Amino acid sequence: MIQKLNNRDELVAIEIFNVFQRSYKVEAELIGASYFPPLSRTVEDICSATTHFYGYFENQNLAAVIEIVIVEKMLKIDSLTVDPSYFRKGIAGKLLNFALTEFDAAKVIVETATANAPAIKLYNKHGFVESKRWLPAHGIEKVALAVDVCSQYSKY
The CATH number for 16's domain is 3.40.630.30
Q: Contact at 8 Å (CB) between 4 and 103?
A: no
How much is the pLDDT for 4? 98
CA 9 to CA 15: how far, in whole Å?
10
What was the pLDDT predicted at 155?
46
CA dist 73 and 98 (Å) reads 16
Q: Quote the pTM value.
A: 0.94
pLDDT along the chain (156 residues), means of 10: 98 98 97 95 98 97 98 96 97 97 95 97 96 92 93 50
- What's the total number of domains in the chain? 1
CA distance linking residue 132 with residue 152, whole number of Å: 20
pLDDT score recorded for residue 153: 54
Note down the domain range covering 9: 2-152
Beta-carbon count within 10 A of 110 CB: 24
